[in-house]
Amino acid sequence: MKKPRTGLLRLLQKAFKQALIKYEPGSVKPERMDASRRDFLRKAFMGAAGLTTAGAMAQTTYLERLAGGPQKFSIGILGAGVAGLHAAYVLQNANIRSTVFEAGGRTGGRMYTATGMMGKGITTELGGEFVDSNHTDILNLAKAFGLGLVDTEKDDKLIRQIFHFNGKKYTAKDLVKALQPYVQSIKADIDSLPESITYKDFGNADTFDRMSIAVYLDAKGISGWLRNMLDVAFTTEYGLDITEQSAINLLFLFDPEHAGEELFGESDERYKIAGGNQRIVDELAKRIPPVKTGFEVLKIRSEGKGFEVSFTNGHTQKFDYLVCTIPFTKLRSIMLEIDGMTEVKKKCIAELGYGKNAKMFAGFKTRYWRKQGASGQVFTDQPFQLGWDGSQLQPGTAGGYTFLTGGIMSEQMIDKTVPEKVQEYVSQLEKIFPGAAENYNGINKIFYWPTHPHTLGSYACYKPGQWTTIGGAEIEPVGNMLFAGEHCSSDFQGYMNGGAETGRRAAEELVKSLTPA
């Protein structure tokens, strides 16, 4: 099960657990949903013809027939984000050649670092930023490539997070108290859900799945600053407004059986890659055959058990196997004539929700908030919703501050010119950290992933009804076409690690099947 992405949602998860314990001591039982969903997705991933372990043992598969001696098969990897690059890297380490194609002019996808944008020596993450200590694929790659880590836990003398709603600062104790009237009712709803929710097996979960988070909160009578906090938490977590999210998003992340005791410890967005997260994908790209950039996919069609891929630049190439890491927001606009694709898979590609997160960056003469005893991270009902010090623990004295929004607030962010909107956000930040206006140095930038031509969204987010109609179909292969990317990960959907993990798994399944017994 996906772990919370934002610090506010981690706090909410822990507060819910603490509030529940007051009413029901001993009610929190061992993890129940994570393993079952993970097992389903593992089986789904291996379920293509010729890719199941049992099938490989019972008969000579198409993959095996091509293996042996000089490489007699071809593998195409579509997309040069971390999923595609990691897949190619794992294959190469097994002496299996592949070719990676990228629509854009750079590699790395949503791992995208800007150097010097906010000041000399400062790196700024335009895409994925924080790495949890359980993001083993990313951390293993960093170790393998000799890349250092920036450990934000070293800033433990500062107030790590500030929660500012209705013009007032709130604490974790305030949150526990506010949740107490509702926890028993919400826990009953959580307990009514089956252990695993996918389109193949969802029990009675469709009742909540058809309901938005907003409708669910209304039904519980939650209002005031608590309602505002929940709104900001889930909007920034998933990138869509709570009117556009399935209520199961809330119930699964509120499940106290998933809430560890150290939500602000090891797994709380602790690390960044020193010098920028893009160094991971840059190192991967250096270790595989040259990526073919400028190859945007126009059409994929089956040809026997293989595939023919046509690109917008006029090139056409045939492959025996494909690893597709293209976000479904983009894949749905590509002509797909693929034999054996189920209606559920087609629906998943066509409809899977994606967040609308936007990042706005503002430069400051100094990191003045540190003199106020704060790390700079704030969650608020001000329009900027979430902000933090993007220059934390980096060289120099200049500051680079990141504002993150989701849903309609992101759309409103791009309605005005960047300088105008940043000035608004700086004025809002002034209310929380006085001195923002005086220290703002006029540097400003914006990055809005939903308008990026090769992504068209930030990361996957289930809309009402999608858990029980398409959930789990993302990673299901179609014949010899495997799928990878953050949207395909059960544990790390929306994270850099989700892309790295599923890319590795796709490659490992190919290696297993292509290696003669």
207-222 pLDDT, tens digit per residue, is: 999 999 999 999 999 9
Domains of the chain and CATH, by start: 40-109+277-351+470-514 (3.50.50.60)
DSSP 85-107: HHHHHHHHHTT---EEEESSSSS
Mention every residue, 6+ apart, whose C-beta is less than 8 A from residue 515. 67, 94
Dihedral of CA atoms 209, 211, 216, 218 in degrees, nearest 10, equals 180
* Mean pLDDT of all residues belonging to the chain: 88
Model pLDDT for residues 112-166, shown as the tens digit of each residue:
999 999 999 999 999 999 998 889 999 999 999 999 999 988 887 898 888 899 9
Backbone angles phi, psi at 331, to 5 degrees: -60, -30
Mention every residue, 6+ apart, whose C-beta is less than 8 A from residue 420. none
Confidence bin at 45 (pLDDT 50/70/90): low
Model pLDDT for residues 152-196, shown as the tens digit of each residue:
888 878 988 888 999 998 887 888 899 999 999 999 999 999 988
Q: Where are the beta strands (DSSP E) in 328-430?
A: 335-337, 358-364, 374-380, 386-389, 399-405
Confidence bin at 231 (pLDDT 50/70/90): very high
Backbone angles phi, psi at 106, to 5 degrees: -135, 160
Cα–Cα distances (Å) from 379 to 9, 206, 229, 382, 435, in that order, read 10, 31, 8, 9, 18
Task: Provide mean pLDDT across the span 84-110.
Answer: 98
DSSP 380-395: ESSTT-EEEETTTT-S
Residue in 82, 126, 167 with CA at minimum distance from that of residue 504: 82
Backbone angles phi, psi at 341, to 5 degrees: -75, 125
Q: How many angstroms separate the CA atoms of 42 and 40, rounded?
A: 5
Task: Provide mean pLDDT across the span 362-380.
Answer: 96
The pLDDT score that the predictor gives to residue 48 is: 42
Model pLDDT for residues 348-365, shown as the tens digit of each residue:
999 999 999 999 999 999
Task: Provide mean pLDDT across the span 445-452.
Answer: 95
What is the pTM assigned to this prediction?
Answer: 0.89
